[in-house]
Structure 1
């Protein structure tokens, strides 16, 4: 079973993605976080561009990789090459 922490600030996307994750029995939705702080706190409890376009999802990914060996997948509507490359540089998977 793959544990998934969904980190998304939009309630609509939280709802839609959590429903999709729930359709696959190989995934366990371990939690949902809306902010960088919630995500980092959730990873600490699990043993994993959130607010105002601050790109803190990248910061969260970097901090999460420092405290956990989890895999990070980032989904974004942003298409700026530098932002995508920075996501990979902090550990998001291609």
Structure 2
């Protein structure tokens, strides 16, 4: 299980990197990736070019779920833990 502690400023960029790594590791074409992620080819182009601003956080998390990641989100009080956002992402 891989646990990532991500600050808000880099959350979407980190998630796009994870998606791109899965695509590269599996050697999927853009068309295969679009089918797996259930999205348009134009979205795949934006993902491959790391255009994080084009996507909502929810949409990127949905893509990771479609890649068989288990996504757990935990938000804690700032006084309790220095990280505001905590994502646990694991591949099945």
Q: Return the TM-score normalized by structure 1.
A: 0.33
Which of 1 and 2 has greater Rg?
2
Report which structure shows greater RCO (CA 8 Å, sep ≥6). Answer: 2
Whose helix proportion is higher, 1 or 2? Answer: 2
Whose strand proportion is higher, 1 or 2? Answer: 2
Q: Return the TM-score normalized by structure 2.
A: 0.34
